[in-house]
Amino acid sequence: MNAAKFYNANVLILGGDITGKALVPVVQMPDGRFKLNFQGQEMTVKKKDLQDYLSSLRNNGLYYFMTTPEELQKLAGDKQGVERIFMAQMSSTLKSWMDLANERLKGTGVVCYISPGNDDKFEMDSLLKDSEHVINPENKVVEIQGGYEMITLGFANPTPWNSPREVSDERLLKMIEELASQLRSPQRSIFNLHVPPFGTELDKTPAVNSQLEYERSGLGMVKVVNVGSKAVRSSIERYQPLLGLHGHIHESRGFVWLGRTLCLNPGSDYGEGMLRGALIELEEGKVKEFMLTSG
């Protein structure tokens, strides 16, 4: 939200994976102190220092809930109970962000497009309600400022993690085609597709086995593979949109050209409290200039 003012941008696009992946119990002990796992370490903190740690958890994309040793023990074997807490934290956090976005962007003329990614549960969709300043463009054709059409899909081809929004590459191709076929001017369009095109610098990641352990080459080095979508690549090569905006592979920050199409993956370091992005200036149906940003 502050990026629009900082970079003098009039459109914001947040392309998925908007919810956190971990839930941290904060246990109130009988002596008034609190136990929590912070950055991989179990620690005990005093009440006067607790708020600083809770803020750090939030800034690192983590959720937390307050509990007692007795309550935590009861949750140990209650997967449904843990899931209810997780969902409640996801929902309340996302709702507060939506409220804050509408408050901060009021009167600015800036529109923020927020869509889910493959890691985001379908229950979050009901919270991504369109308003004056916030729009969920998922599975739609929308026109953004300047007369540019944009299609958006948060789905991905299959991953080892079996995330909520995964489909076969064949199905993904059909989904993209259903949207792209509605475009009036594909050459002036933006393909806001969460998964990057296959076989580029935007979809490289360490290989993992069925136990989600890193695979290694004969020299002992971690094996790196391309895991993006062939459907996304073939669609971009066919329609040649102005821009391809991608994410999904958080460690593959960069840009590539596929024909006339500029494809970008700003990467993600949310675990370090770092906001990665891409600043793009469009003019007369062309990419005038662009840069990857961090802050």
Q: What structural domains does the chain harbor?
A: 23-84 (3.40.1170), 137-294 (3.60.21.10)
Percent of the chain with pLDDT over 90: 87
| Rg of the chain taking only CA atoms, in angstroms | 21
Query: 228 near 177, Cβ under 8 Å?
Result: no
> What is the tens place of the pLDDT at every residue in 173-212?
999 999 999 999 999 999 999 999 999 999 999 999 988 9
Q: What is the pLDDT of residue 137?
A: 97
Query: Shortest CA distance to 64 belongs to which of 26, 35, 96?
Result: 26
**Whole-prediction pTM:** 0.93
- pLDDT score recorded for residue 135: 96
CA 132, CA 69: separation in Å to the nearest integer? 45
- Rounded to whole angstroms, how far apart are CA atoms 112 and 105? 8
pLDDT at 46 over 90: yes
Between strands 261-265 and 276-283, the pairing is unpaired
User: Does pLDDT of 109 surpass 90?
Assistant: yes
Mean pLDDT is highest, among 21-25, 95-99, 262-266, for 262-266
Please give the Cα distance from 103 to 112 (Å, whole number): 12
Whether 270 shows a pLDDT value over 90: the answer reads no
Q: How do residues 58-84 score in pLDDT, each as one tens digit? A: 888 899 999 999 999 999 989 999 999
- Between CA 182 and CA 187, with CA 184 as vertex, the angle to 5 degrees is 110
| Backbone phi, psi, residue 269, to 5° | -130, 45
Beta strands in the chain, from DSSP E residues, in sequence order? 11-15, 23-28, 34-38, 41-45, 63-67, 111-115, 134-135, 141-144, 148-153, 190-193, 204-206, 224-226, 243-245, 254-258, 261-265, 276-283, 286-294
**3-state class of 197 per DSSP?**
strand
